[in-house]
Each structure stands twice: as C-alpha cells, then as structure tokens.
C-alpha cells in the first residue's frame, strides 16, 4: 500500500509541470488570437487578406515566442534574433498586405504589447495582492 501511494504521489508531482505548461499554452494562444485580431483591425485587413494573413501570423507568433524563451538570458542576442525573424517574415506580410501595411505589422505588434503591459500594470495598481503575514 505504501508503494502504491508513493507511486501515485510521484505521478502527481510529475504531472504538475505539464498542467502549468498547458495553461501557459492556452494563455499564449489567447494572446496570439487577440494580437492577430488587433493587427487586423488596425491595418483594416479585408476578409480575403485575413484568410492569408492568419496562418502566416500564427507561424510568426510561435517562432517569436520561442525566440523570446530561448534567448531570455541574453537580451542583446534576443533582440538580434527578433530582428532576424522580422526580416524573415517581412516579405510574406508584404506579399499579403502590400509594402506599406506589411511593414506596419510589427509596429502594431509593438503597440499591442505596450497596451497589454499598461493594462497589466493598471490592474496590479488597482488590485494589489494582499501582503503575506509572517
């Protein structure tokens, strides 16, 4: 019986990081969807353009998130990799949206991130976490 409980508890402990990863993936997917929607509205993308834009943006977003994760310890390298990634996807965005709007995708992404950070900061200021008792 002790062995059974030990094995069961080890399985439970091992599954906790998997659950956290799932929640993180869900959050990333929601952010990706909201960011794509935001960019499409700001750039006034038509339905035909959106059908072509969305799959390219999803690929770009996934690579962008992975680049941020892989290089989080070296900010300068991370910035260089993000620039390389943007240069890689720029021709695809330009091919779908035209030169002017294709170049604005990244500007709109930066604005979305800034607004998201401001919103999070505002929520933290309005709803501070209670202090822990010692």
Q: What pLDDT digit, counting tens, does each position of 84-100 carry? A: 999 999 999 999 999 99
Tokens 């300068």 label which residue? 76
Q: What are phi and psi of 43, to 5 degrees?
A: -95, 5
In a domain, 70, yes or no: yes
What pLDDT was estimated at residue 22? 45
CA distances in angstroms from 122 to 5, 109, 112, 116, 127, listed in the order given: 45, 20, 15, 10, 8
- Of the pLDDT bands very low, low, confident and very high (cuts 50, 70, 90), residue 2 is low
In a domain, 82, yes or no: yes
Stated pTM of the model: 0.71
Decide if 36 contacts 93 (C-beta within 8 A). no
In a domain, 71, yes or no: yes
pLDDT tens digits, 109-120: 999 999 989 988
CA distances in angstroms from 21 to 70, 72, 98, listed in the order given: 16, 17, 37
In a domain, 114, yes or no: yes
The sign of the torsion formed by the CA atoms of 17, 21, 26, 28 equals positive
In a domain, 95, yes or no: yes
In a domain, 105, yes or no: yes
- Of the pLDDT bands very low, low, confident and very high (cuts 50, 70, 90), residue 134 is low
Residue 109's nearest CA partner among 46, 51, 53 is 53
What pLDDT was estimated at residue 131? 61
CA–CA–CA angle 78, 83, 84 (5° rounding): 95
Six-digit token string for 30: 């929601």
Identify the domain containing residue 94 by its residue range: 29-124
In a domain, 107, yes or no: yes
Whole-angstrom Cα distance, residue 84 to residue 67? 10
In the chain, the number of structural domains is 1
**pLDDT tops 80 at residue 17:** no
Q: Quick one: average pLDDT of 2-17?
A: 50
In a domain, 110, yes or no: yes
């Amino acid at each position: 019986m002790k062995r059974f409980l030990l094995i069961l508890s080890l399985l439970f402990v091992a599954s906790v990081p998997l659950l956290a990863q799932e929640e993180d993936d869900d959050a990333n997917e929601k952010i990706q969807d909201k960011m794509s929607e935001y960019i499409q509205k700001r750039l006034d993308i038509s339905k035909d353009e959106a059908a072509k834009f969305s799959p390219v943006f999803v690929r770009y977003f996934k690579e962008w998130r992975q680049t941020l994760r892989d290089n989080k310890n070296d900010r300068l390298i991370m910035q260089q990799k993000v620039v390389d990634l943007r240069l890689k996807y720029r021709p695809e965005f330009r091919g779908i949206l035209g030169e002017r709007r294709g170049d604005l995708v990244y500007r709109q992404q930066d604005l979305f991130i800034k607004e998201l950070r401001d919103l999070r900061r505002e929520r933290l200021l309005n709803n501070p976490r209670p202090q822990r008792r010692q």
